[in-house]
């Protein structure tokens, strides 16, 4: 399974959760499969929206195709627009939950024809959302730029070069430019808050296991009892340590400081 397929599985899982919250009904995933991008957008009874996902300077497009009739659940229903919003919201949570970039979605724009979309290098995935006795097939089309950010293998097509050629700039070697001199006053940064997190372990699980997760479920992690935990600052690994209890609070005792990455 490629990185993009793994990411899509997480996106579908979180998308189903978002739809379940919106409908108040149980929503199951029956299948997820790769399909040709043109086929995903070719249905006349489908409504297609294009969402721009941004993470800092990174940007990519995610197309969501859902039945124009929306989805019906016992006692409630979601029209196509609300269904799209729920799926995109779930997609963002799934990307973050699978360790991808923290994307923000701009307002989706509905497209009336696949001809309006550049499908070069795009990958599409179909998935069924099952609500009671009925099911709804939806599609996600990941354009090449977004696919490369999510770990996919699709190349990003570059336009043919026209006009004068551009030579790379020659820059001087600045050495360890990021080093702060010992006599430099950094007191102005002393109250800057940093996010410290402690990672106990990691693990992997199939989507079908995650969907069936409930109270009492057990997942195997990649560390043994008693192993040191990772201490991260703003996501960067800085130290390792042991979990301790301080009064009624959990704490961590640092046992090793990691070498900085050069």
The parts of the chain modelled with pLDDT lower than 70 are 1-2, 74, 107, 113-116, 152-186, 260-262
Residues 20 and 144 in one domain: yes
Shared domain check, 143 and 228:
no
Tell me which H or E stretch contains 260: none
| 131 and 7 in a common domain | yes
Q: What is the pLDDT of residue 154?
A: 45
Residue 7 lies in a domain: yes
Residue given tokens 């050495």 in the structure block: 175
Q: Decide if 241 is inside a domain.
A: yes
Do 47 and 104 sit in the same domain of this protein? yes
Crossing angle of helices 3-23 and 80-97, in 10° steps, is 130
- Asked if 135 and 198 sit in the same domain, the reply is no
pLDDT for res 158: 42
Domain enclosing residue 75, as ranges: 3-149
> Are 128 and 36 within one domain?
yes
Residue 171: its pLDDT value, please?
67
Using CA atoms, how far apart are residues 249 and 241, in angstroms rounded to an integer? 16
CA distance 169 to 196: 38
């Amino acid at each position: 399974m490629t990185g993009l397929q793994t990411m899509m599985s997480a996106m579908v899982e979180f998308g189903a959760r978002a739809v379940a919250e919106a409908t108040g009904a149980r929503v199951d995933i029956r299948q997820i499969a790769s399909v040709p991008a043109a086929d995903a957008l070719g249905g006349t009874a489908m409504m297609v929206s294009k969402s721009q996902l941004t993470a800092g300077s990174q940007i990519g497009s995610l197309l969501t195709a859902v039945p124009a009739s929306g989805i019906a659940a016992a006692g409630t229903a979601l029209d196509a627009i609300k269904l799209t919003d729920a799926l995109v919201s779930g997609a963002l949570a799934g990307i973050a939950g699978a360790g991808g970039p923290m994307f923000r979605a701009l307002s989706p724009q509905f497209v009336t024809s696949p001809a309006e979309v550049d499908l070069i290098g795009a990958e599409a995935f179909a998935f069924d959302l099952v609500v009671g006795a009925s099911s709804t097939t939806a599609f996600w089309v990941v354009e090449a730029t977004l696919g490369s950010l999510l770990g996919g293998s699709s190349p990003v097509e570059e336009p043919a070069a026209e006009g004068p050629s551009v030579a790379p700039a020659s820059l001087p070697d600045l050495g360890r430019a990021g080093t702060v001199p010992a006599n430099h006053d950094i007191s102005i940064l002393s109250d800057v808050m940093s996010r410290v997190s402690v990672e106990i372990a990691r693990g992997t699980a199939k989507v079908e296991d995650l969907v069936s997760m409930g109270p009492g479920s057990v997942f195997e992690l990649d560390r043994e009892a008693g192993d040191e935990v990772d201490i991260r600052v703003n996501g960067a690994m800085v130290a390792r340590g042991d979990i301790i209890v301080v009064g009624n609070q959990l704490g961590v005792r640092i046992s090793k400081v990691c070498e900085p990455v050069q």
